Amino acid sequence: MVEQGSERVSELEQELLDAKAEIIELGAAQKTVITGSQFLVIILVGPLFMAFVTLGVLIVYKVTSKPAEVAPHLDVILLALSIFSLPVTSAAAAIVGIMSDELKAKIGGKGNEG
């Protein structure tokens, strides 16, 4: 009787260890991994986005706080913002393209597994 109890305990311990291993594997599978190209895109394009947002915030702040000083130069400021928006838009399009390619690859990989 004691041997059956100890066998049952060791079976439960083994099941517990298997469950822990499975939880660890699932946790590792759900971690986000960034590739080298994604890292470079973030490093190179991140400051561009931040500068664009900062410029937009500064323009709005200056126009609302001191409209008399900014009004004569508003056309030049908006021209600079529009010229600056082209590389920002191109970079955003590149990032979205990379993300969609990765999503298509993930969907294609899951379709082949099942």
Output the pLDDT for position 54. Answer: 92
d(CA 84, CA 90): 11
Averages of pLDDT over runs of 10 residues in the chain (114 residues) are 72 85 75 75 86 90 89 88 88 83 77 51
Helices (H), 1-114: 2-29, 36-65, 67-70, 74-113
**pLDDT for residue 114:** 45
Taking alpha carbons only, the member of 44, 36, 54 closest to residue 91 is 44
CA distance 79 to 34: 36
